[in-house]
Amino acid sequence: MPEKRVTNDDLAKIMDTSDEWIRSRTGIGERRITEEKTTANLAAGAARKALDDSGMEACEIELILVATSTPEYYFPNTACEVQAAIGAENAAAFDLSAACSGFIFALNTAHAFLQSGMYRNALVIGADVMSKVVDWKDRSTCVLFGDGAGAVVIRSEDSEKEGIRQGIMGSEGKGGEVLTCRARSNANFLTGKEPDTDYLYMNGQEVFKFAVKKVPECITRLLEETKTEKEEITYFLLHQANYRIIEAAAKRLKLPIEKFPMNIEHYGNTSGASIPILLDEMNRRGELKRGDKLVLAGFGAGLTWGAMLLTW
Ligand code: COA
C-alpha cells in the first residue's frame, strides 16, 4: 500500500463532502494515495512480498500476470516492468484488463495455464493507481477509490484437497457505458483530432444495481457447479467497492455478514487490487486456516464479474 493516508476529513477540506456522507453510503473512512509510486512500483512491491511468503526465487517464476486498468504505459506492459524490477527473467509477462474483476480474471487465467501444463507456477498481481484516473473535481466518484497492489504465487501440485478448485467469469459488454475511463480517441492527421484523455465516469446507481444482482448470482452458480453448500464456505472475499453492496450480497445469499470480511474502511475501492490485499491481510493476521474453503468474487467495469472457489 502507498504510505499516504487520505481521510474523508482531508477530502472535505478540498471539496464539498463530509465523512458522514462517504461513510454512510460506502463504508470508506480513508484511502491510500500514491504520490511517487507507479502502478508497476506498487505491483513489484506486492510481488516481492508474495515471493518471500512462497519461498520461491524470482528466477523460478514462469508466468507473471498483472491485472490492472491503470498502467503507466500502453506498452511495455506493467507485467514486464514488474519482471525487470524483481528479476524474474524466466517468466512470460503480460497484463490483463478487467477492471475491478481483474484479479479474478487473472487468477483464473493463470490457473488455466497451470492446468494445461504450459506453466508450473505463476505470479498473479492486482494493481491499480485509481487516483490518476479519477476526476478530483467530481465528488461523486473520486471519494470512492484508492491506490494499492496485492499479489499471490500459485503453483501446480497434485492435491485434490487444496488449492484452486474452480473459477467462473462473465462479461456483458452492452452494459459497459455505466463505468468507463477512455484512453485515447483516434487522433491522427486524417481525423485532425487532438489526442485526448478522459477521467473515470460512473453511473453509481446503475453500477450498484448490477453488483447486487450479479455477485450473488455468480456465487450461486459457482457453488452449484462445484456441488458445494454455501455453509461449507468459511469466508467470501468480495471486491471491496462498497459495504452496502457486500451487505446486500450477503442478504441475498442468506448468509451472515461475518462471513464477508471487509477492509474497505481503510483503503476504499482499489479496483483490481482489493481482493488480494484483503486476502493478504487476513493471512497475515492468521485468520485463514489450512482447509478453509474460500470464495473470491469480483465485479466491475466491462461489465465483468467472476468468482473462484479455493481451499486454503
Ligand atoms: N459528498 C457529498 N455529497 C455527494 C457526494 C459526496 N462525495 N457525491 C455525491 N453527492 C451528492 C450528489 O450530488 C447528490 O446530490 P443531489 O441529490 O442534491 O443531486 C446526492 O449526493 C446523491 O446521493 P445518493 O442518492 O444518496 O447517492 P447514492 O445512494 O446513489 O450513492 C454511490 C452514491 C456512488 C455511493 C452509490 O451509487 C454507489 O456506491 N454505487 C456503486 C459504486 C461502485 O461501487 N462502483 C465501483 C464498482 S466496481
* Contact in structure between 96 and 107 (CB atoms under 8 Å): no
What pLDDT is stored for residue 259 in this prediction?
98
Catalytic annotation present for 181: no
Closest ligand 1 atom, CA of 239? 48
pLDDT over 90 for what percent of the chain? 94
Q: Name every residue whose Cβ is closer than 8 Å to that of residue 189 and which is 6 or more positions away in sequence.
A: none
Closest ligand 1 atom, CA of 207? 41
Please tell me the residue having the least CA distance from ligand 1 atom 34: 204
* Predicted TM-score of the model (pTM): 0.96
Report the separation in Å between the CA atom of 54 and the middle of ligand 1, taken as the mean of its atom positions.
41
pLDDT > 80? residue 202 = yes
pLDDT > 90? residue 158 = no
User: How many angstroms separate the CA atoms of 165 and 157, rounded?
Assistant: 12
Copy the grid coordinates of residue 29: 473512512
Q: Which amino acid is at 20?
A: E
* Contact in structure between 104 and 302 (CB atoms under 8 Å): no
Please tell me the residue having the least CA distance from ligand 1 atom 15: 140
Catalytic annotation present for 269: yes
10-49 pLDDT, tens digit per residue, is 999 999 999 999 999 999 999 999 999 999 999 999 999 9
Report the separation in Å between the CA atom of 204 and the middle of ligand 1, taken as the mean of its atom positions.
6
Report the separation in Å between the CA atom of 265 and the middle of ligand 1, taken as the mean of its atom positions.
17
Cell 483490481 maps to which residue? 272
Helices 243-252, 204-225: crossing angle, 10 deg rounding? 40
Q: Is the dihedral of CA 78, 80, 85, 88 positive or negative?
A: positive
Please tell me the residue having the least CA distance from ligand 1 atom 3: 17
Q: Name every residue whose Cβ is closer than 8 Å to that of residue 159 and which is 6 or more positions away in sequence.
A: none
What pLDDT is stored for residue 194 in this prediction?
81
User: What's the DSSP call for residue 177?
Assistant: G
CB atoms within 10 A of CB 169: 17
pLDDT > 90? residue 298 = yes
User: How many angstroms separate the CA atoms of 134 and 201, rounded?
Assistant: 8
Report the separation in Å between the CA atom of 26 and the middle of ligand 1, taken as the mean of its atom positions.
9
pLDDT > 90? residue 186 = no
Task: Label residue 185 by pLDDT band (50, 70, 90).
Answer: confident
Instruction: Give which of 145, 163, 144 is closest to 153, Cα–Cα.
Output: 163
Please tell me the residue having the least CA distance from ligand 1 atom 22: 140
The 3-state DSSP class for residue 48 equals helix
Please tell me the residue having the least CA distance from ligand 1 atom 5: 140
Copy the grid coordinates of residue 294: 474460500
Residues in the chain: 312
CB atoms within 10 A of CB 174: 7
Q: Which ranges constitute the DSSP H helices of 183-242? A: 204-225
Q: What is the mean pLDDT of residues 242-258?
A: 97
User: How many angstroms separate the CA atoms of 184 and 102, rounded?
Assistant: 21
**Order of strands across the sheet that contains 235-238:** 163-171, 304-311, 293-300, 235-238
Closest ligand 1 atom, CA of 25? 35
Measured in whole angstroms, the distance separating CA 64 from the mean position of its chain's CA atoms is: 16
Catalytic annotation present for 59: no
Q: Name every residue whose Cβ is closer than 8 Å to that of residue 97 and which is 6 or more positions away in sequence.
A: 67, 68, 69
- CA distance readout (Å), 185 to 91, 95, 193, 242: 33, 21, 8, 31
- Write out residues with Cβ below 6 Å of ligand 1: 17, 21-22, 25-26, 100, 139-140, 143, 202, 204-205, 207-208, 241-242, 245, 269, 300
Peptide bond between residue 303 and the one before it cis (omega within 30 degrees of 0)? yes
Q: Which amino acid is at 265?
A: E
